[in-house]
Structure formats: structure tokens, C-alpha cells
């Protein structure tokens, strides 16, 4: 048994409800490894879970992704060794900790040349972008691709990766400053979707060509416009709901808008088994090595500053990934 500091929730609410406590970490069980965590990633779902919008069973830990060094192996673990650097994104909540036991099947080794900080900063977001551009809709050279919230964490990665695949990427964002970030991330043009004529601006930016695929994580404020930006037989991919759930529509509307396809995928089913998860992760690491996916870290915090990290994110005051360093 060893001791480790861990962020715990006994109730839900504002950033102040998070408590940094010392907890017991037992020896890893069968199929587990003990990971000394060196960098912890932040995702906006952490705020939803801390606030109670996405309810957890309290008391609970918080956080979904981290990188670290394997320190001990449980019975039956043969594909990892002490000293290996590894990262995860889906091992159950509790990533905000100095150490934890993680199922070996949920870990993937970090290649040489990629730092623990960079891996933790982008892994969850890049794994989301990976299934979107490779599996939900396989982006092809010459495609017009529309990415909503292109200045966000996933949006920047998605825009850069789709551009590297040869697509013309049009991004949208909620302000002129965020549109600049979207352009820097790889968008050929960026449109402020708070403008009433943003749909016309998107179509004008491509000389009248509509998108083969629209990646929409905003939903309520953008969904109907997304349908209008999609080319006949194109696809609208809803993968989030930053502004609230998308409005319900009659299926016949997809016919009237051009025989469109509509889907609502998620990262976890796309990585449900270990072999697929690790193959997709290898694709992410290759994209990082080639420069198609870049880690942009906007702020670093210690675990004791976790409330400050959440406030920064809630105030939309960070333009890059947030990383916590235990």
C-alpha cells in the first residue's frame, strides 16, 4: 500500500468543491499496472462532471486522461514493463492523482520523441479527431470540410489533421479572436458563427462549394445551419453539444436538404477493444510525429491549483490545452 494525493469530490458544484486528499493506493491487481503520473490532461467533460451536469456517484475522483511511468505490474500483465511511459484516456474517472492503478489494456506506450506533457495534453482530443477524420467520415484530398468550434481543443486538432489530409477546411468560431486561432490551426478560412449570415459566409468562402462533411460539436446554435452548409449526399457529424442539444428534426428534412447523412458518434465505442484502441493511438502518434497534430499547451497547474485550472477553462481564458503536473 502506498499513499498518493488525489482530487476527490464529496459533493458537486463550483471549483471550490474539489479537495486534494491523501488516499491509499494498493498494489496493482490482476491485469493492472500502477502508474506514477507525470502529466494530467484536462477536458471540458471534467467541468460537467464536477458541477453535476453529468452526474457521478460521490465520493469520486475526477479526470479521464494522464501520462506517466509504469512502476509496478499486477498478475498477468505481459505487454508493459516498469519504466515504460504510457498514456490513457478511458480508464474510469480518477486521473487527477499522483498515482493510480490502471488496467493495462487501457494504456498505450508513448513513443520516443513525444513528451509526457504533449501526450497528456492532446491524447483524448486527438483520439476524438482520429475517429472523426478516419472512420466516421474518411476525409479525402479535395474535400471541403466544415469544422465548428475550430478554435477549441478538438477543433484545432481536427482542423489541422483534415488539412494535412488534403481537405479545404473552413472553420467557425464565436469571435474574431477565435477565428484567428482557427486559421492558425489549419483552416483556410474562419467564420464567426455569432454573425446572422454565417451560413452564407461559409459557402462564399469556398466559392459556392458546400461541405462533404460538417463536424458539429456546438449543436443547438449551429445544427440547422450545418444542414444548409452540407453538399448533396454529404454527412453531418454531431459529436458534442456545447450550446445545448441539437433541435429534433423530421427525417424527411435530410431528404429535402440533399439526401444527407446524419450521425452522432462517440470516441469510446470507436476504441472499445484493446487492439483497436492501440491501433488508433498509433495513428495519433504518427500524426503528431508528422506535424499534422500539434500539442499546444496554454497553461500548466499543480494538483493543488486544480480549482484555478477549472476557473480558467470555464472563463474561456485559455487558448491551448490545460495540463496539470503532479
Q: Are residue 252 and residue 282 in the same domain, yes or no? A: no
Together in a domain, 105 and 9: yes
Q: What is the pLDDT of residue 317?
A: 75
CA 168-216-243 angle, 5° bins: 140
Using pLDDT thresholds of 50, 70 and 90, give the confidence band for residue 102: very high
Give the distance, in angstroms, between the CA of residue 229 and the centroid of all CA atoms in the same chain: 24
Phi, psi at 219, each rounded to 5°: 80, -95
The CATH number that applies at residue 108 is 3.90.180.10
Q: What is the pLDDT of residue 18?
A: 98
What are the tens digits of pLDDT across the range 203-245?
999 999 999 999 999 999 999 999 999 999 999 999 998 889 9
Does some domain include residue 69?
Answer: yes
208 & 297 share domain: no
For residue 132, is it within any domain?
A: no
Residues 238 and 258 in one domain: yes
What was the pLDDT predicted at 187?
Answer: 98
Instruction: Tell me if 131 is assigned to some domain.
Output: no
Would you state the pLDDT for residue 314? 87
Q: Based on the domain organization, do 25 and 78 belong to the same domain?
A: yes
Whether 148 and 230 map to the same domain: the answer is yes
The answer to whether residue 231 sits within a structural domain is: yes
Going by C-alpha positions, the residue among 150, 164, 261 that lies closest to residue 216 is: 150
- What domain range is 21 assigned to? 2-122+271-324
Residue 272 CB coordination number (10 Å): 9
On whether the CB atoms of residues 173 and 182 are closer than 8 A, the answer is yes
List, in order, residues 6 or more apart from 325 with CB less than 8 Å away: 38, 39, 40, 117, 300, 301, 302
Q: Mean pLDDT for the chain?
A: 96
- Choosing from 263, 280, 312, the residue where a domain stops is 263
Co-location of 158 and 214 in the same domain: yes
pLDDT at 146: 98
Based on the fold, state whether residues 63 and 37 are members of the same structural domain: yes
User: For residue 166, what is the domain's CATH number?
Assistant: 3.40.50.720
Task: Tell me: do 114 and 182 sit in the same domain.
Answer: no
Which residues share a beta bridge with 99?
36
Residue 130 falls inside a structural domain: no
Number of domains in the chain: 2
Domain-embedded: residue 238: yes
What pLDDT, on the 0 to 100 scale, is given for residue 315?
A: 85
Q: Which of 263, 282, 308 is the last residue of a domain?
A: 263
pLDDT tens digit string along 151-198?
Answer: 988 999 999 999 999 999 999 999 999 999 999 999 999 999 999 999
191 and 116 inside one domain: no
pLDDT tens-digit series, residues 36-85:
999 999 998 999 999 998 889 999 999 999 999 999 999 999 999 999 99
Task: Determine the Cα–Cα distance for residues 75 and 152; give it in Å rounded to an integer.
Answer: 41
Residue 159 lies in a domain: yes
Task: For 279-325, write each residue's pLDDT tens digit.
Answer: 999 999 999 999 999 998 989 999 999 999 999 998 877 777 999 99
Same domain, 52 and 149: no
Instruction: Report the C-alpha gap between 222 and 232 in whole angstroms.
Output: 18
Do 42 and 61 fall within a single domain? Answer: yes
**Of the residues 244, 263, 282, the one at which a domain ends:** 263
User: CB under 8 Å to 170, separation ≥6 — which residues?
Assistant: 144, 145, 146, 147, 187, 188, 189, 190, 191, 202, 205, 206, 211
Amino acid at each position: 500500500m502506498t499513499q498518493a494525493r488525489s482530487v476527490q469530490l464529496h459533493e458537486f458544484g463550483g471549483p471550490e468543491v474539489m479537495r486534494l486528499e491523501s488516499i491509499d493506493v494498493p498494489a496493482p491487481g490482476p491485469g493492472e499496472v500502477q502508474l506514477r503520473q507525470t502529466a494530467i490532461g484536462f477536458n471540458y467533460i471534467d467541468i460537467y462532471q464536477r458541477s453535476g451536469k453529468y452526474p457521478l456517484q460521490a465520493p469520486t475522483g475526477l479526470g479521464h486522461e494522464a501520462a506517466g511511468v509504469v512502476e509496478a505490474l499486477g498478475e498477468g500483465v505481459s505487454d508493459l514493463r516498469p519504466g515504460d511511459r504510457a498514456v490513457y484516456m478511458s480508464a474510469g474517472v480518477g486521473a487527477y492523482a499522483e498515482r493510480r492503478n490502471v488496467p493495462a489494456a487501457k494504456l498505450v506506450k508513448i513513443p520516443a520523441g513525444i513528451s509526457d506533457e504533449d501526450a497528456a495534453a492532446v491524447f483524448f482530443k486527438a483520439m476524438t479527431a482520429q475517429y472523426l477524420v478516419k472512420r466516421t467520415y474518411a476525409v479525402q484530398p479535395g474535400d471541403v470540410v466544415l469544422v465548428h468550434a475550430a478554435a477549441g481543443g478538438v477543433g484545432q486538432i481536427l482542423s489541422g489533421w483534415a488539412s494535412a489530409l488534403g481537405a479545404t477546411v473552413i472553420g467557425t468560431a464565436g469571435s474574431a479572436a477565435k477565428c484567428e486561432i482557427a486559421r492558425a490551426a489549419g483552416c483556410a478560412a474562419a467564420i464567426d458563427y455569432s454573425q446572422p449570415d454565417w451560413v452564407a459566409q461559409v459557402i462564399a468562402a469556398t466559392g459556392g462549394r458546400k461541405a462533404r462533411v460538417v463536424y458539429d460539436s456546438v449543436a443547438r446554435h449551429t445544427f440547422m445551419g450545418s444542414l444548409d452548409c452540407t453538399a448533396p449526399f454529404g454527412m453531418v457529424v454531431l459529436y458534442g453539444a456545447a450550446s445545448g442539444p441539437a433541435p429534433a428534426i423530421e427525417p424527411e428534412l435530410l431528404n429535402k436538404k440533399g439526401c444527407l447523412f446524419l450521425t452522432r458518434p462517440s470516441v469510446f465505442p470507436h476504441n472499445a477493444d484493446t487492439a483497436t484502441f492501440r491501433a488508433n493511438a498509433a495513428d495519433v502518434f504518427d500524426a503528431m510525429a508528422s506535424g499534422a497534430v500539434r500539442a499546444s499547451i496554454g497553461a500548466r497547474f499543480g494538483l493543488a491549483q486544480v480549482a484555478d485550472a477549472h476557473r480558467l477553462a470555464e472563463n474561456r481564458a485559455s487558448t491551448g490545452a490545460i495540463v496539470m503536473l503532479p
